[in-house]
A = this chain, B = another copy of it.
Amino acid sequence: MDDGQGGQDVGLIFDVFKEIGIIEQLSRAILEARLPGDLIAPHFSVLSHLSRREDGQTPIDMARAFQVPKTSMTHTLKGLEGLGLIEMRPNPKDGRSKRVWLTDDGRALFARVIVDLGPDFVALARGFDTTRLAEIQPVLTDLRIFLDAARDV
């Protein structure tokens, strides 16, 4: 059969992905409970992305960063633009594309949500040993990088 550790690995990988899937759902629920009713997690992800990086990214860059189809990103951005949280400006370097900027409202909303999430995160830090999170964080990052690289092969 030649599965030195192969069989164990398959079960392990399966379990890890399963846990990650559930945690993703639960963490999304925590986030969306703190978001205004007309925003969902993808909206917030975009605001976060623009806050932490430079503004002026193109939609296609963001679609790649989030691993979603560009049509999904178009839709998400349209929603944020309609709420006045981002601005789409033409890209002077490329007539096909646009560049996305946070508005003051967008920046303020993002900051407010972060504050509102504080109690949730504090509760988590109280009830769960965050040194364990610190230990898994690099592994998760490496796994994400590995999967991301393996994706387009």
User: Is A71 positioned at the interface, with any CB of B under 8 Å from its CB?
Assistant: no
From A77-85, A102-110, A138-146, the one touching the partner chain is A138-146
Measured CB to CB, the closest approach of chain B to A134, in angstroms, equals 6
Size category of the binding interface on chain A: 35 or more
Q: A-side binding surface: helix, strand, loop or mixed?
A: helix
Given A20-B20, A128-B146, A144-B19, the answer on whether A139 and B136 have CB atoms closer than 8 Å is: yes
Contact A27 B17 (CB under 8 A): yes
A interface list, Cβ under 8 A from B: 5-6, 9-10, 12-31, 45, 48, 66-68, 114, 117-118, 121-125, 127-128, 130, 132-137, 139-144, 146-148, 150-151
